[in-house]
Amino acid sequence: MNNPSVENDKVQYQVMTLERPKKLKILVVDDEPDNLDLLYRTFRRDFNVLKADSGVNALEVLAAEGEVAVIISDQRMPEMKGTEFLSKTVPQFPDTVRIILTGFTDIEDLVEAINAGQVYKYITKPWDPGELKAVVQRAAETYDLLKQRTEELRRAHAQMALLSVLVQVTQAASSLEETLAPIARAVSETFGAEGCILQLTDGNTLIATQGTYSDTGTIDNWLSQDPLTTEAIATRQMQVSLNVLKDTKLVDAIHYQNTGVQAHLVIPISYRNQLLGVLSLQWKQPCTLREDELMLINLSAELVAIALTSCH
């Protein structure tokens, strides 16, 4: 994005605890131990490689491990052919890129699988390691690009959905106070938080006016005693602790232990350099937030600021 404020915030987030890029996971499936070991050794340096010696076992691996970027499967296996196994992975993992290794000319099955979108490419045995590496690298790039576009669409949809709710709330409310709780609920649900507090400020001081939401129905407000909130107000920058129990800055903040909050994000709500309030998102378990998710939260806070000013 070209918005300078977003780029500046992006730099700010680099010092925070973000989800680090990890090796993509791939799954290799072959009923012959030597082939399976060779596939593993071919890709272990560049990928996190999972192994299975049959289609049935491979489905169990996916059930336990979740989505992988690429599946490389032998075609001729007992119990379940490669194309049959791959077809079973499509409904739950549509973004995964699938590659078939085949040592015989079962063209009909392969063409059908390719036409159905279940197979990205097939490679005949004996396969050349260089060729297979190149194909898998392209497959991984395809997966990354698909994920990136899906994420962009998800962010745009979340932002539009939140904007729609904010517009409805501000149009329906007769006062600023009436907007706070609905906004807190909308933001909490957008980001999957267990609790959210939107509390107004007068200058740099929190005031009693607030809106809250909790999936349990009640939420304690201890923001006035909270180091993250104090820092957010003082610096006008988002403050994040994604694992409170391991955060040395919060070791003396007893309210986290009392309420069970294990991840906390506080963002100041400002409009034209005037602080309007703070937005607190709380989770009951440690979580990871990617940089793009933090950017979306920041943009959402700007929408909240516009919504609050329109109610004055």
Burial 104-131 (b: 16+ CB within 10 A, else e): eebeebbeebbeeebbbebbeeebeeee
Q: Where are the domains of the chain?
A: 4-146, 173-310
Distance of alpha carbon 179 from alpha carbon 177, whole angstroms: 5
Instruction: Spell out, as residue ranges, where the chain has pLDDT lower than 50.
Output: 1-20
Predicted pLDDT at 116: 63
Predicted pLDDT at 17: 34
Distance of alpha carbon 49 from alpha carbon 136, whole angstroms: 12
pTM: 0.60
Predicted pLDDT at 269: 95
Predicted pLDDT at 104: 62
Q: Structurally, what CATH architecture does the domain formed by 4-146 represent?
A: 3-Layer(aba) Sandwich (3.40)
Distance of alpha carbon 184 from alpha carbon 173, whole angstroms: 14
Predicted pLDDT at 4: 31
Distance of alpha carbon 256 from alpha carbon 262, whole angstroms: 7
Predicted pLDDT at 205: 95
Contacts 24+ apart (CB under 8 A), 144-147: 144/24, 144/69, 146/95, 147/95
DSSP state of 278: E
Q: Where are the extended beta strands (E) located within 85-242?
A: 97-102, 121-124, 195-202, 205-214, 239-241
Q: What is the third-level CATH fold of 173-310?
A: Beta-Lactamase (3.30.450)
